Amino acid sequence: MRVDPIEVEEAAKALYIRALKLLPPDIKAGFRKLDSAETDTTGKAVLGTMIRNIAVAEANDNLLCQDTGIPIYNIVIGRNVAVDGYELKQAIVRGCARATKEHPLRSSVVHPVTRGNEHTSCGRLVPVINIDFSADPESLRIEMIPKGSGSENNSWLKMAIPADGIDAIKTFVIDCVLEAGGKTCPPTIVGVGVGGTADLCVHLSKVAATRALGSVCEDAEGARLERELSGVVNALGIGAQGLGGDSTAFAVHVETAATHITMNPVAVNMQCHSARRARATFTPAGVSYGF
């Protein structure tokens, strides 16, 4: 299967707009679950307002949040797919810029020193483009995630001492959630990376934070950590928008990687309640869109 760069560009544009306007079904279900279990009066009222905001935004074809975020595109290339890698990345950049200019969208991307804004949601090494491969035949997937600063500003890395064991990981995660408080616009998805190198660990925490609700870590130990931490986090009382209650997080997600015998890195990255993402899948039958 050969992938047309023009179709990739169109998909990159459409995905950015789609991600900003449509909340994935699993997140909506997560809201309903939290709302049904919330015992705090204020928390219940805040959740109701947030749920109403989602409905109004979608009914009026409007953005779910004013923060259009830093655009992230995750690409997974299957077997027997012919694509020019450089042109693929350039097509993503063009599509991202077109979405920003043609929709139009607020560009939240600036130069880190001058703070200059090109008003394209693009800049040096942005959009962030991650490329991976799968065994799926004749398939190319593009996932778009607009990562807002409210969630991205709440990111941490700790190079834990192996001798401190699992308790160091749990304590660090809880401390991070407490430090974030209401700044991440909870309820959140708390992404936790464990192992690897420093940079891989942080990447894993973001992969975990942007996973679909209901998904489970493929590593049995990571899955166990997810179960243990999810209950603890919602017992902290931070609640929706940090105003108190039971709904601090939809879930805690964990991703793991092998690491060195003398280190045990752990990272936390959070996703806000507007956990936006959109996906396009290219097959010989055409392009399909989903979440």
Is 32 among the domain residues? no
Per-residue pLDDT tens digits for 196-211: 999 999 999 999 999 9
What is the predicted pLDDT for the residue at 209? 97
Alpha helices in the chain (DSSP H): 5-21, 25-37, 41-59, 85-102, 149-152, 165-180, 198-209, 220-233
**pLDDT, average across residues 142-162:** 95
User: Are both 114 and 143 inside the same structural domain?
Assistant: yes
- The residues that bridge with 99 in the sheet, in sequence order, are none
What is the predicted pLDDT for the residue at 240? 97
The CATH number linked to 70 is 3.30.1330
Joined together, the tokens standing for residue 201 give: 């660990």
Per-residue pLDDT tens digits for 96-120: 999 999 999 999 999 999 999 999 9
Is 98 among the domain residues? yes
The amino acid that residue 196 corresponds to is G
Burial state string for 131-165 with b = 16 or more CB within 10 A and e = fewer than 16: eeeeebebbbbbbbbbbbebbbebbbbbebeeeee
Joined together, the tokens standing for residue 100 give: 């920003």
User: Are both 165 and 120 inside the same structural domain?
Assistant: no
Joined together, the tokens standing for residue 204 give: 């894993």
What is the predicted pLDDT for the residue at 119? 97
Quote the percentage of the chain above a pLDDT of 70.
Answer: 100
Q: Which residue segment(s) compose the domain that 189 sits in?
A: 149-271
Per-residue pLDDT tens digits for 205-253: 999 999 999 999 999 999 999 999 998 999 999 999 999 999 999 999 9
pLDDT band at residue 148 under the 50/70/90 scheme: very high
User: Are both 143 and 11 inside the same structural domain?
Assistant: yes
pLDDT band at residue 192 under the 50/70/90 scheme: very high
User: Are both 194 and 117 inside the same structural domain?
Assistant: no
Is 160 among the domain residues? yes
Of 19, 15, 12, residue with least CA distance to 90: 12
**pLDDT, average across residues 119-130:** 98
User: Are both 113 and 237 inside the same structural domain?
Assistant: no
Alpha carbon distances (Å) from 4 to 7, 84, 88, 94: 5, 9, 9, 14
What is the predicted pLDDT for the residue at 93? 98
Burial state string for 252-268 with b = 16 or more CB within 10 A and e = fewer than 16: bbbbbbebeeeebbbbb
pLDDT band at residue 284 under the 50/70/90 scheme: very high
What is the predicted pLDDT for the residue at 248? 97
- Residues 249/173, Cβ–Cβ less than 8 Å: no
User: Are both 160 and 249 inside the same structural domain?
Assistant: yes
Is 113 among the domain residues? yes
User: Are both 218 and 244 inside the same structural domain?
Assistant: yes
User: Are both 119 and 227 inside the same structural domain?
Assistant: no
CA–CA gap between residue 17 and residue 95 (Å, rounded):
10
What is the predicted pLDDT for the residue at 63? 96
User: Are both 231 and 198 inside the same structural domain?
Assistant: yes
User: Are both 138 and 188 inside the same structural domain?
Assistant: no
Of 181, 193, 174, residue with least CA distance to 153: 181
What is the predicted pLDDT for the residue at 242? 96
CA–CA gap between residue 190 and residue 209 (Å, rounded):
6
User: Are both 158 and 117 inside the same structural domain?
Assistant: no
What is the predicted pLDDT for the residue at 72? 98
Specify the 3-state DSSP secondary structure of 30.
helix
Is 106 among the domain residues? yes
Alpha carbon distances (Å) from 116 to 69, 97, 121, 123, 155: 16, 16, 12, 10, 24
CA–CA gap between residue 275 and residue 33 (Å, rounded):
16
Write down the mean pLDDT value for the chain. Answer: 97
User: Are both 179 and 124 inside the same structural domain?
Assistant: no
Q: How many domains does the chain have?
A: 2
- Residues 91/48, Cβ–Cβ less than 8 Å: no
